[in-house]
Structure 1
């Protein structure tokens, strides 16, 4: 059968000129990729009865024009066109903005179909689309797909291209799921489901099609995970480290603090993995400040004592320097050699470190993406630790992994994920969780205030800085926006410089170069900047023990997990720390978030509430976790389907006939394409 993924999208009639290039911007170069590009919602053009609709609804109605349309001009280009329309039984005002050219078409007695937003109080419809029945094709009574497109592509053109692709190639869409699963859940055949997703006759058909494709998407994702686990646990091509347990226990006893029970349990799981002949692939998740770094350091110690090297990869230079200092303090008494490999080294420094690394004179290297460059070689790499893994791409992590003979991999994240969700989402990983905070850490006192209390907040900042402490001030935007009435970092920086002339106020945002960001953070870490105004680039991992105050402007615009990450930047030293959230009291969702933040410091409880509040949202945004982006499936609302898919995939890969039977050929080909059946590691 013709492979639709190797067939250029230009084979679809009408896809010519600049269109193939514009489609490439959406990641579409083949017919298969075009058909896989699903709508994210539908416009419902079913005619509605005005007596049955609610204020603010987007509706489609049919009526008759009465009276003369009126145009009001504002400035040179802006206009407001109004027209009276009888939509039985009501007399309605239809309003168009900047569409004055329609006036000549709106003649008394003409029939019109209007789509727009309904204002119940004014009996007014703000029109977004108008149709004149009998003139060309009609959308009346249909569901029209809405796609996520770039500015160069219109919904109308894309819908037409999709229809044409389905006419030409719809019958060639291959089935990938075995009959037993289609029958088990009563799922539509694939070609019917794909067609109905793009062209549903009604909502029920669209939902049946979505159900089928969501299951397929989650099943294939889980099949990759379960096949990888099955094959990886059979393969003995990893490193079985001869771990010296008495030496590791002595190292742990020498630490300047006692490990929590949680840390001890997780370390035991990791040491058990290190001794196995297959590769460890473990996710270590723990709340902000739960002590993940010490667990990682103990694992690196065990690997070095077993005669291997370790690598710790972090997203920023400042974090790399911070981790290097921490490891030096812990490893120095044992003669373990560490090195720092970042982009800002001189050529000579870099050459010396690379040579030492290759000769095995360096035991543990800490670095940024500089670790994965082609000229970096290890003598015996045994363990790779990645911190805040979602900041690295899949390829970056797997390149570092390939620099050893299938080294063990420990991935750390400070974004707490409810355990059941973590086990399901990271199906290829074993999941370890740190629940306790080290003894002696003072809970951060959190307050939610309104913008009217800003003077008191400024007084609070002044008192903390005068006492020799430092403060973060976080804003949602870099500079002023016409669309959003929220504080921006540049204005707040200027305001605080005026308020605190005796103190140094720094500014940090995403448009600065990495070098500029690192310089500001070094100044803040060294105590030379007293107040740091920043956007959320500050979110992950920075450790400044002297910072005791976190102020967040427009806190109702941030997700709960993000607010918790920001709060975790303070409370790292001996002094009591505070978090002040400035929010709009009228924002109901924001109010719920502020309550959650003032109720608890527990990141896992925060994560649970975040899931509840966001519902079918992006709790797993790409920034937050490294969980895959699905085309249709939603990690929250489709969680039960994910669990079913995981169980089905796990059961299937255990069967000998899965690896040989013809019915499962499409699934084995899928695994081959995803490189699960080769020696390539899944990341």
Structure 2
């Protein structure tokens, strides 16, 4: 693209006043280039159609001849209803006009009209929204008119006119943005033509072709950044090349109290290979609930410590941090390795001791929450950063922890399986490892969706399970009663369950409790001193109680699919058959579909795919934390095939030596320079 258009202020377009320029700036439009690239999100169809092909209630544009004098009924001073007969070959139809009585004098029998409105096929009646007299200077008939996303005082008509003016003035300066080999490979229309036609397509197909070309370009540039960045990082070799003996890691694995799955062995091998390389590892480890990601991270941390470096494991909650610390201590203590814990609930003295030990190298691996990223937390030699449930941390939090070492290796983990659509888009600069298998002996969790009217049967089912020595979770969306939301809350449900099970001990866990209180409740539950645990979603991640076999979720429609799957994963961790009961009275089709998906499959990857379809990518991780790119035109779901094309092409180009030297590729290298990719700045 010509940089001239990027530097030309939007006021260069005729008709854009200073006031209008300020309004455009609020939409992010400050240059001619940005105005031309402000693409429509849909089109209004003003093409003339035969009424025989129009469905009842559909919007349509027709051509007709006025047959009768208009009849006007006034309501008050300004409101009116005007009717007249129009002959739209071969039909005689009734037309209704609201508050358009000022047109009465122009509507003479025999006049030709272009009418756009809503068609009522039973009454043979058109409710007119817009009227044109053929030959007018601003006729829209027979066209697809672009519709733009606008705010404030900007009007569609003005936006259309202004973008058209920009195309007339500056359209000839629109430069090709793709290498000729890619334009030829896919038979794309030239960029100049595509920019014009996306604003003014002659027909639907032409609009699709223009959009496809521009979507590819947008995704190609996105993928080019990712692949160029990875290539530069690997050339720099400024990471930590960990020196450890593979046999030490093999002995560590053999000493584990369980056998690793083939999937775990493969992923550990991939990570160990990365650790030994001189460039920074940047790997995403994704796996279904209970697939054994923690032991993979433990093997990576073990190898890091054996190589003389420190490791850090950042997790989203204190409960999970404490659980991971205990797990790692059991695994690492036989080898003389020390594990530290750093959370917000430590006393000032405890915190100072941990920070001093880290700085002196007396702690080999530290497990913590966001407390790890405070300014005064310093390491002697940080070699590996592991973030668990990485989508719960913002981009800035992850990068702060990483900068506490000299380019340490990075392993990010998630138990929310990420569909390939998002993995390629959001994490295109990462190598992705996937744990597909579950440990041997795991039985699929049986899942049921029931209405609130079946609550007595649910309580009876819990009683039967707990009477045999098992335990149960009961999950609620809220801590206390809310006037706004008619949903069960944890405090009320705890009272209800305590009354229903006087012979058992019922515990309560929620986010407002202190870390010590939460820890005590979880300790009692793990030791089976509490049989039924009523909780909010604080137990969603990581808590491991193999004896728990029942998961009851109140108001399940209030949770997304992936969150329901995470909660369900708290059971099914032992030898006994486990059950998940979703209490829900779905009021809409989306909620019904979520319940149906949960009862049909236990496959987290399939659930993640369906969740993405139902909720969209913005909500999949949480819009603010996701780090997902915002595309002008591309859509990650519908344009996934184009995304894959763009990814493959970008990877192939970057791998060619000519890319970095040839004159033809200079515009792409200049783009990377503007984006600071050639400076080696890390992508987050």
Tell me the TM-score normalized by structure 2.
0.80
Deviation for aligned residue 1:368? 3.9
Residue in 2 aligned with 1:551?
553
SS in 2 for 1:662: coil
- Given that 1:472 and 1:547 are in contact with CA atoms closer than 8 Å, whether structure 2 keeps it comes out as no
1:203 matched to 2:199? The reply is no
The 8 Å contact of residues 72 and 80 in structure 1, kept in 2 or not, is answered as yes
> Which digits, 9 at most, give the CA deviation of each residue in 1:576-626, with x for residues without a partner?
231326364983x76665544323212234456667x76x96499453976
What's the CA shift for 1:636?
4.0
Structure 2 partner of 1:444: 445
Q: What is the RMSD of the two structures over their aligned residues, measured on CA atoms?
A: 4.4
1:31 to 1:492, Cα distance in 2 relative to 1, 3 A? farther
Q: Which residue of 1 aligns with 2:472?
A: 469
The CA distance in 2 between the partners of 1:571 and 1:324, in whole Å, is: 23
User: 1:308·1:382 contact (CA, 8 Å) conserved in 2?
Assistant: yes
Equivalent position of 2:180 in the other structure: 179
Are the counterparts in 2 of residues 471 and 532 from structure 1 also a CA contact under 8 Å? yes
SS of residue matched to 1:366? strand
SS at match of 1:406: coil
Confirm whether residue 682 of structure 1 aligns to residue 683 of structure 2. Answer: yes
Please identify, of 338-347 and 221-230, the stretch whose mean Cα deviation from structure 2 is larger. 338-347
Name the CA distance, whole Å, in 2 between partners of 1:495 and 1:118. 53
Deviation at 1:254, TM superposition (A): 3.6
The CA distance in 1 between the partners of 2:266 and 2:601, in whole Å, is 25
CA separation in 2, counterparts of 1:125 and 1:583? 41
Quote the residue 2:503 is aligned against: none
The structure-2 alpha-carbon separation of the partners of 1:595 and 1:515, relative to structure 1 and needing over 3 Å to count, comes to: closer
Q: CA deviation at 1:286?
A: 0.8
**The 10-residue stretch of structure 1 (140-149 or 182-191) with the greater mean CA deviation from structure 2:** 140-149
SS at match of 2:172: helix
Mapping for residues 529-568 of structure 1, pairs under 5 Å: 530-532=533-535, 546=548, 548-551=550-553, 553=555, 555=557, 561=562, 563-568=564-569
- CA distance in 2 between partners of 1:31 and 1:114 (Å): 35
Match of 1:601 in 2: 602
Is 1:642 aligned with 2:640? no
Q: Do the aligned partners of 2:553 and 2:583 also contact (CA within 8 Å) in 1?
A: yes
What is the CA distance between 1:411 and its match in structure 2? 1.8
Q: How does 1:391-430 map to 2 (within 5 A)?
A: 391-417=392-418, 422=423, 426-430=427-431
Q: Aligned partners of 2:430 and 2:378: how far apart in 1?
A: 26
Quick one: structure 1 residues 586 and 418, their matched pair in 2 at CA, closer, same or farther if it must change by over 3 Å? closer
1:257 aligns with 258
Tell me: CA distance 1:377–1:4, structure 2 relative to 1, closer, same or farther (3 Å): farther
1:510-563 C-alpha deviation (Å, 9 max, x unpaired): xxxx868989977985769944466xx9866566765832436474x8765555
Alpha-carbon shift at residue 664 of structure 1 (Å): 0.8
Q: If you compute each CA radius of gyration, which structure gives the higher value, 1 or 2?
A: 2
Shift in alpha-carbon separation, 1:396–1:120, aligned structure 2, 3 A: farther
Paired residue total: 652
Q: Is the Cα contact below 8 Å between 2:475 and 2:490 reproduced in 1?
A: no
Identify the match of residue 91 of structure 1 among 87, 93, 98.
93
Which residue does the alignment assign to 2:389?
388
CA drift at 1:681: 2.3
**Equivalent in the alignment of 1:170:** 171
Aligned ranges 1:143-162 → 2 under 5 Å: 143-150=144-151, 153-162=154-163
Residue aligned with 1:663, SS: coil
Quote the Cα distance in structure 2 between the aligned partners of 1:105 and 1:541: 69
Find the counterpart in structure 2 of residue 623 from structure 1: 622
Counterpart CA distance in 1 for 2:521 and 2:23 is 44
Which region of structure 1 is more displaced relative to structure 2, 296-305 or 231-240?
231-240
CA distance in 2, matches of 1:119, 1:265: 64
Q: Judging changes above 3 Å, is the alpha-carbon distance between structure 1 residues 130 and 407 closer, same or farther for their aligned structure 2 residues?
A: same
Q: Deviations over 1:420-477 (max 9, x none)?
A: 984687443222111111234332211234xxx32114541575379462212459xx
* Deviation (angstroms), 1:628: 3.8
Question: Retained in 1: the 8 A contact 2:494–2:534?
Answer: no
Distance 1:126 1:67, change over 3 A: closer
Q: Pick closer, same or farther for the CA change 1:399–1:497 going to 2, 3 Å.
A: closer
Deviation at 1:299, TM superposition (A): 0.8
Question: Where does residue 130 of structure 2 map in the other structure?
Answer: 130
| Aligned match of 2:454 | 456
- Residues 120 and 189 from structure 1, CA distance in 2 versus in 1: closer, same or farther, beyond 3 angstroms? same
Output the CA distance in 1 between the equivalents of 2:433 and 2:317.
24
Alpha-carbon shift at residue 234 of structure 1 (Å): 3.0
Deviations 1:108-165 (A, max 9, x none): 94787655554545656677x4345478734333323333445665544444443444
How far residue 322 of structure 1 moved from its aligned partner, in angstroms, is 4.3
* 1:306 equivalent in structure 2: 307
Partner of 2:657: 656
* CA distance 1:592–1:622, change in 2 (3 Å): closer
Taking the aligned partners of 1:168 and 1:365, their CA distance within structure 2 comes to 61
Q: Distance in 2 between matches of 1:607 and 1:180?
A: 36
The unaligned stretches of length 5 or more in structure 2 are 501-505
Deviations 1:391-415 (Å, cap 9, x if unpaired)? 3444443343333222111121223
TM-score, length of structure 1 as denominator length: 0.80
